[in-house]
Structure 1
């Protein structure tokens, strides 16, 4: 019985069902299984059993033309332009940009990097590309960008921190604590930051300044830290005195300098330099005026001694 039911559902090429006319079964063509639903649909369509809505052909043709047009625009690279124009017309044009976390980065620079022209669509805005452009700004360390529909973009920045000023040749640059250059120094806003001068000074600055922090009395007098041959430091004081530090044993040298200044007020005298490079001696260089005064005092002392030795 099961076998007979199976045969009763076999469909011939012309739609006739097996089992109804056994005499003709040998003449009929058996449709392969994968195509049976298609043939059944066509038979029902031809017999009027399936109803096609009005204007279905028109809609299908329009859909075909639209798909073809979109494919052509995609090949021509115009899909982004069309998408932007469409979404802008639909009320998604960016009208507000909210910026937070910026202290040194101007909002004008941010807007330029976003590339907004008053008609830019929020839907068509490429967040990843905009984030990459904002990251190119000198002060930007991290950036978060978010779309807030229908018309707002939120920009949250984390900026780099200026640690010191680095002079290399005639150029002055702001640097981070790790020595990375932020941007050229453009105004006096950061004039109170420590000044490091010379090759490799920017990378050695943080470690030296940390070690030097144990000597606040001397640090307050320093105008610039000058790196010499990438090995040691000279301290240029605000009053013009240059203190030459050794390559090693900086703590001992600064201990001696502090003691001499406390006991003899050395750094207030008419001198131009203190050489602490040798551990067993300290060389002090007088200013030209002090040299003249010292020479005049020596000459006067010599004359006085001669008078005492040769009375008239």
Structure 2
């Protein structure tokens, strides 16, 4: 039995020793520093690099240095605002300098104005040219309504303009301006090239011009004789005809007044007589103002008639 007892003790002793080793191992593992997962790869890479297990190609240091200084240079240019200048110079030297600008659709806008706004100086790079910025600058020209700017490599720019259309001349105070049909001012009137356009005078005349001219479409004989449309107090219109007659239109029911004027002219040739003004402002009566010469002649005729009547009365 003693022999059996020794065997049992030996086995128990081995088990006890293994248990102690396991406990010691777990304590040692708990005491070690465990790196976070992202840092483990970095640590392994540094260890491999230090032991020579990773091969580094030749000239890698030189290339890395060049990349570093290039990045620093680009960052410095960006901070100093010189990036565009450097890009212009680099791409121009590479054969992309703008040498030809094709402008189309410009009847009122000169090509010189286009060149100046684009800032072309013979060294402008086509690659570095900002098309959107160029388009925005060109739309600031007075006559330009819309514009398209295209790059045609390697050295050409195409500029297609859509210009505004002059509808009339607006006189406000002592200033004369060209206006669109919408009433928008295009530019100041500088020469007599547009003398054939209708003249609109007065406050708010430019905004109501197109609508009123369209209202005269049914009376072309009258409209063709109008030389100026004068807006009175922002409420009604006076028509100044080519022979100096002023037609005073009412504030409302303008078509009825124009119809009456057309009938008077057809039946009595009122617009061909020595008349200074035809007043149609009142719906129940029409007032005709004679010219100064016609009024004097009329007064002379009236006086002569009065004298003749008095003389006839005395003789009887």
Pairwise TM-score range, normalised by the shorter structure: 0.7 to 0.9
CA shift digits 1:149-175 (9 cap, x unpaired): 221112122211111111111111111
Does 1:192 pair with 2:164?
A: no
| Greater radius of gyration (CA) | 2
Q: Distance in 2 between matches of 1:29 and 1:260?
A: 113
The 5 Å alignment of 1:1-312 reads: 33-311=37-315
Q: TM-score, normalised by structure 2?
A: 0.85
Q: Matched residue of 1:310: which SS?
A: helix
Q: Distance in 2 between matches of 1:74 and 1:157?
A: 34
- 1:95 is displaced (CA, Å) by 1.0
Relative to structure 1, the CA distance from residue 33 to residue 193 in structure 2 (aligned partners, 3 Å threshold; closer, same or farther) is same
- 1:55 is displaced (CA, Å) by 2.4
CA shift digits 1:134-153 (9 cap, x unpaired): 11111111122122222111
Relative to structure 1, the CA distance from residue 305 to residue 41 in structure 2 (aligned partners, 3 Å threshold; closer, same or farther) is same
Q: What number of residue pairs does the alignment pair up?
A: 289
Of 26-35 and 77-86, more deviation after overlay is shown by 26-35
Q: TM-score, normalised by structure 1?
A: 0.86
CA shift digits 1:105-141 (9 cap, x unpaired): 1111111111111111112212222111111111111
- 1:265 is displaced (CA, Å) by 0.9
- 1:38 is displaced (CA, Å) by 3.6
Q: Distance in 2 between matches of 1:84 and 1:215?
A: 62
CA shift digits 1:77-115 (9 cap, x unpaired): 111111111111111111111112222111111111111
Report which of the two has the higher share of helix.
2
CA RMSD of aligned residues (A): 2.2
Runs of 5+ consecutive residues of structure 2 not aligned to the other structure = 1-27
Q: Matched residue of 1:125: which SS?
A: coil
Q: Distance in 2 between matches of 1:56 and 1:247?
A: 88
Relative to structure 1, the CA distance from residue 294 to residue 29 in structure 2 (aligned partners, 3 Å threshold; closer, same or farther) is closer
